[in-house]
Amino acid sequence: MEGKLLELPISKLSIPKASDILVEKLRNFILSDEVKEGDKLPPERVLVQKLGAGRSTIREALRILEIEGLIKTKPGPNGGSVVRRPTYQTVAKSLTLLLRSERASFAELLEARRIIERQCARQAAIVATAEDLAEFDDCIQQMKATLNNYPAFFMENLRFHYLITSSSHSYVLRVFARCIREIVYERIIDVELTIPQRQKGIQACEAIVEAIKEKNPDKAEKRFDKHLQAFEDHLKNTYPQAFSDESTKTIITPGTDRQTILLKNIPE
């Protein structure tokens, strides 16, 4: 008796490209403790001989690694593929593209920023050091000193938010906070605040720092959330167009151009 023809419960095989396999191996090597920033990968001809791969495969793998920000190709006799460590800019660029492709709204970005940064404030109240507290005090003094100079005041405000994330002493929180913050600030390049609004902002920052000094995480989180909510309310009242369906809308005050100054000077 002849048996039936079986239907195999096996999906179509997906065989990875040689360049993808090579990228994974090189990526793991670059991110290992054996490699430091500034080290050079072997020349292309050496990689071809050592790995037994074609030049096109090697070049494709190196191209992908350069896009990922893990190497920088330098031309010339002393050039080659130089190892780089990933930075927040690498993550921010990819995250920006993803959020834009998914049409993430400005309101969603602000919400994400608030969730992450208020957790940083909470953590800062637990682990902030004496050096962190001194930085906070200096920042607030500089905010008061630059009250009538808005670009300088704005930079000190950026510094305060940076200090909140850095004082959490959580690298993961700091990276995500920095990425979201940069995307947000690309959209609110030149939002003006009146002198009374700036003074109120300084008072809010002082209250947040007071809670951090008291090592009161609940109070620090609550006060920081209130501070961010006040700024978001100002945006909604003053620039309602940014919260429309045009998710790539950028707020720029007519006649001004401070984008380059502000974004290039956001603290690391």
CA distances 208 to 81, 161, 196, 221, Å, are 46, 11, 18, 8
Is pLDDT larger for residue 87 or for residue 26? 26
Q: Is the pLDDT of residue 235 over 80?
A: yes
SS3 83: strand
pLDDT tens track for 171-204: 889 888 888 887 787 776 567 789 999 999 999 9
User: What is the number of other CB atoms lying within 10 angstroms of the CB of residue 30?
Assistant: 22
- At 28-62, the pLDDT tens digits run 999 988 889 989 999 888 999 988 888 999 999 99
pTM (two decimals): 0.73
What percent of the chain has pLDDT above 70?
88
Least confident of 118-127, 215-224, 230-239, 252-261: 252-261
Model confidence band, residue 117 (pLDDT cutoffs 50, 70, 90): very high
- Superfamily (CATH H level) for 89-264: GntR ligand-binding domain-like (1.20.120.530)
Higher-pLDDT residue of 253, 172: 172
Strand ranges, E, within the chain? 71-74, 80-83
* CA atoms of 190 and 12, how far apart (whole Å): 53
User: Residue 11 has what pLDDT?
Assistant: 77
Contact 205, 227 (CB under 8 A): yes
Q: What's the mean pLDDT in 239-261?
A: 51
Length of the chain (residues): 268
User: What was the pLDDT predicted at 265?
Assistant: 47
Residue 249 has pLDDT above 60, yes or no: no
In whole angstroms, give the CA distance from residue 156 to residue 201: 11
Beta bridge partners of 72: 82
Query: What distance in Å separates the CA atoms of residue 98 and residue 197, rounded to the nearest whole number?
Result: 34
Domain ranges of the chain: 18-83, 89-264
211 Cα distance to chain centroid: 26
Q: Tens of pLDDT along 124-168?
A: 999 999 999 999 999 999 999 999 998 899 889 989 999 999 999
Structure tokens at 40: 């050079």
CATH number, span 18-83 = 1.10.10.10
pLDDT of res. 190: 60
**Residue 25: closest CA among 11, 41, 39, 13:** 41
* Over residues 219-240, mean pLDDT: 90
